Amino acid sequence: MNTNSLVSISDIGRDEILRLLDTARQFEENPNRRLLEGRVVATLFFEPSTRTRLSFETAVNRLGGRVIGFSDANTTSSSKGETLKDTIKMVSNYVDLIIMRHYLEGAARYASEVTDVPIINAGDGANQHPSQTMLDLYSIYKTQGTLENLTITLVGDLKYGRTVHSLIMAMRYFNPTFRFVACSELGMPKEYKVFCDENGIKYTEHTDFSPEVINSSDIIYMTRVQRERFADIMEYERVKDLYNLNSAMLTDARPNMRILHPLPRVNEIAQDVDDNPHAYYFEQARNGLYARQALICRALGIEV
Ligand code: CP
């Protein structure tokens, strides 16, 4: 196992988070630096992705490295029955870093245990999405000027939403107050509420996405109800449209409040929010490039 792997957001502590945010800021000022000259990075995506894969690949390209990999595992020998272990061991023969998304929770941890090449978890099932968390933290820091003492409202699919799980864990260092807005079927899993209790993180739970909640938030973090995580499609149909944000709901929001969403969205944020000054989700996705450049350098032990 390579100690530079990033499998869970808990692999990095407060000081390192702050250092990575500063590195991301440097990359935002100048994203084109040939720090990866001669390095090859693999992007292995066993699940669909637009932003994560393309921003990681852009990050490598802008740093002068090269990328190999796949975006559809059906075109690889895993469709012939090759195990994840064998796939990782094979790819490790060719590259300096593996960035992997997988539909199974724990897959990134497992991969990191069968190779000495660093692994970055680009999302494993409903578990963790640590690189998304770094860009979320960077977006929060840029828009609020601090990570400390913020009220953050998480809305939608809190059960399967790996981005909100990672975000809670990372924010433990910064004295947040969380609001969890979800229906009972998609509420925050008990393990994350226990995590909050054990780390002194304040939270309240709501089924109503009320004006009181909206108007007292610094960050509203919307999430998609993920059809692909439901075994029963009827249950998905029952809950998919419960929480929708539109521009009229933002009239009395705090001036500093920003709306984040890991994207893709379906209909949880109306199109009329896109031009509202509180909307920040497209900029948030752009921040992914800089945050991921910082994470790639960390994984490869490259000083910036
Ligand atoms: N936020 C995110 O993970 O987006 P993609 O699924 O498009 O990579």
Each of the 304 residues of the chain gets a pLDDT tens digit; together they read 899 999 999 999 999 999 999 999 999 999 999 999 999 999 999 999 999 999 999 999 999 999 999 999 999 999 999 999 999 999 999 999 999 999 999 999 999 999 999 999 999 998 999 999 999 999 999 999 999 999 999 999 999 999 999 999 999 999 999 999 999 989 999 999 999 999 999 999 999 999 999 999 999 999 999 888 888 888 888 888 889 999 999 999 999 999 999 999 999 999 999 999 999 999 999 999 999 999 999 999 999 9
- Ligand 1 pocket mutation pick from 43, 46, 49, 135 by most atoms within 8 angstroms of CB: 49
Model pLDDT, residue 99: 98
Active-site annotation holds for 162? no
Instruction: Write down the pLDDT at residue 226.
Output: 86
Task: Say if CB 117 and CB 95 are below 8 A apart.
Answer: yes
Residue nearest to atom 4 of ligand 1 (CA): 51
pLDDT of 296 reads 98
The per-residue DSSP string of 21-72 comes to: HHHHHHHHH-----TTTT-EEEEEESS--SHHHHHHHHHHHHTT-EEEEES-
Is any ligand 1 atom within 6 A of the Cβ of residue 71?
no
Query: Could you tell me if the CB of 164 is within 6 A of ligand 1?
Result: no
Q: Find the 252 Cα to ligand 1 centroid distance in Å.
A: 30
Structural Rg of the chain based on CA atoms: 19
**Angle, alpha carbons 229-234-238 (nearest 5°):** 90
What Å distances lie between residue 122 and 51, 87, 98, 283, CA to CA?
11, 17, 10, 19
Please indicate whether residue 51, judged by its CB atom, sits closer than 6 Å to ligand 1.
yes
Which phi and psi angles does 56 have, rounded to 5°? -65, -45
- Our answer to whether residue 53 is catalytic in this structure is no
Task: Classify the phi-psi angles of 40: left when phi > 0, otherwise alpha if psi is within -120 to 50, otherwise beta.
Answer: beta
Confirm if 242 and 235 have CB atoms less than 8 A apart.
no
- 101 noted as active-site residue: yes
From the list 52, 87, 143, 153, the catalytic residue is: 52
Q: Which atom of ligand 1 is nearest to the CA of 123?
A: 3
Site to probe by mutation for ligand 1, drawn from 136, 139, 263 as the one with most ligand atoms within 8 Å of Cβ, is 263
pLDDT of 1 reads 86
**Is 25 an annotated catalytic residue?**
no
Q: Is 262 in the pocket of ligand 1 (CB under 6 A)?
A: yes
**Does residue 50 have its Cβ closer than 6 Å to ligand 1?**
yes
Chain centroid to CA 65: 23
Whether residue 298 lies in the annotated active site? no
Whole-number Å distance between alpha carbons of 130 and 163: 8
Q: pTM for the whole thing?
A: 0.96
